[in-house]
Chain A
């Protein structure tokens, strides 16, 4: 008995977990960012195995194609010096341990005390059976833009607001910086800017 889907699953998830571990343990920040990309890729592979090809492609387009490029961009620009033999400082290990411990405990408490309603599963499955004979792009589109259109719009609005907020906080108009105004340049006419004169030789203007 050979189950190729299962073998692929273990390859993808194994690579995903080890890449994720390497993201936080690698000394070189650029290597870390690249391992993050490897992790994204394998997550996309898992989506494909689960027949969610639309999500897989979106993961690659959005996270690998755009977000991780910006990460890599920033990390490369920072030019972090990676000296060999430099001791790792444990200055923040206490507070980091405390915060991490608290979060971990909360998660565990949640997990232990989590109660699932007996009808919850049926509620989530209800929509899936509606879209059984559709491609999952169509099914996702119907779900997002028909059933949950309002919630989806709200999420978009929140993103828009956060984007505007980031621009308002970081945009600053410096005084005395000359800017190119393309419209003015195109509108400029020859008669406004060039003057043709007949100058007799030997005399100045």
Chain B
């Protein structure tokens, strides 16, 4: 798998071919070949456009299929972890230790009926889960799994991630409006306000890391941490990032958009069958995505903790997966531990605590970099 992607990266004109990862998205590259090869001969069309395109589709599959498996087993892990914390057993009937439970759930939800509410806006109603799911997959186009193992190594990788994660709100808000239901609409409004608020602090946290790394490219951000992971100098920002990620993915204790006591189930209350499953998969995909983002920004991506013998034997992709699993475990741990926030407290935390503090940290980082003359790339 790794070799295939590496081969793909070495092909000359592969980087600008549109990728179809869930939705049509253009994966860009700043390689000068965009203008360098505008006129492609029909003979070269196969070798320069079609073959790289097929390779690209192949590599997208190589990312998406393990990702879907990871999402399935994240739901299983969540049930098992929370069960252990509450002194229960959790799923243990379907398959060995209940390991086939996610597939049983998937099959069950697949053969249910898709119900479209009266006077709902049918097209938007069906589009919303597709948007949520497609976005959670398309962000993986820029995630580096190991040194050089990435579908599209673009210059503005972190901005692309930020842009995709800021679009996640559309799936929710469109679902809430198109359902023609008060509960769903209230859930969507809560979610939109919450996600927009916490994006501000996530943006500032990203800026502190960018200042330290001196690059917007995700691989370069990881490589800049080869001496010291940013979780050490930027520990407060790492904590803030995890909390903001909880709010951004609507997870407990910030799961107000789907607070079951007030809103039944929030924006997805009218959804059933596969349309609901897509929301579910999208949400868990977003959790994994935010964990991957946290890993790249603060935990050194694919780098081993120490670059000495026993640690360097383990391939980078394993370290990457382990670090993602660690952050995901925090997500589950928090859900089993804390009660839900009240909405005004949530907004206060976002705007009056996180925003000033992360802004202060941006100033501090910038000042230290200027004071010690550590400016990159000038």
Contacts and interface: CB of A to CB of B under 8 A. Distances in A.
Contacts of A135: 30, 155, 216
B351 to A, nearest CB: 13
A76 interface: yes
A136 B163 contact: no
Interface string A112-150: 000000000000000000000001111000100000000
Interface residues of B, number: 40
A53 B173 contact: no
Given A4-B40, A53-B156, A58-B159, A76 B344 contact: no
Interface string B334-351: 000000000010001000
B40 A76 contact: no
Interface string B145-170: 00000000011100110110011011
Q: Chain A contact residues: over half helix, strand or loop, or mixed?
A: helix
Interface string A60-84: 1100111001101100110000000
A2 to B, nearest CB: 5
A49 B34 contact: yes
A39 interface: no
A51 interface: yes
Given A58-B159, A61-B159, A61-B166, A1 B30 contact: no
Nearest to B17: A4
B163 A57 contact: yes
Nearest to B177: A76
A2 B162 contact: no
Contacts of A54: 156, 159
B166 A2 contact: no
Chain A: number of interface residues, binned into ranges: 35 or more
B156 A60 contact: no
A64 B168 CA distance: 11
A53 B169 contact: no
B38 A37 contact: no
Interface string B28-54: 101000110011111001000100000
Interface of A: 1-6, 8, 30, 34, 37, 45, 48-49, 51, 53-54, 56-58, 60-61, 64-66, 69-70, 72-73, 76-77, 135-138, 142, 180, 182
Interface of B: 18, 26, 28, 30, 34-35, 38-42, 45, 49, 124, 154-156, 159-160, 162-163, 166-167, 169-170, 173-174, 177, 185, 189, 192-193, 196, 199, 203, 216, 344, 348, 377-378
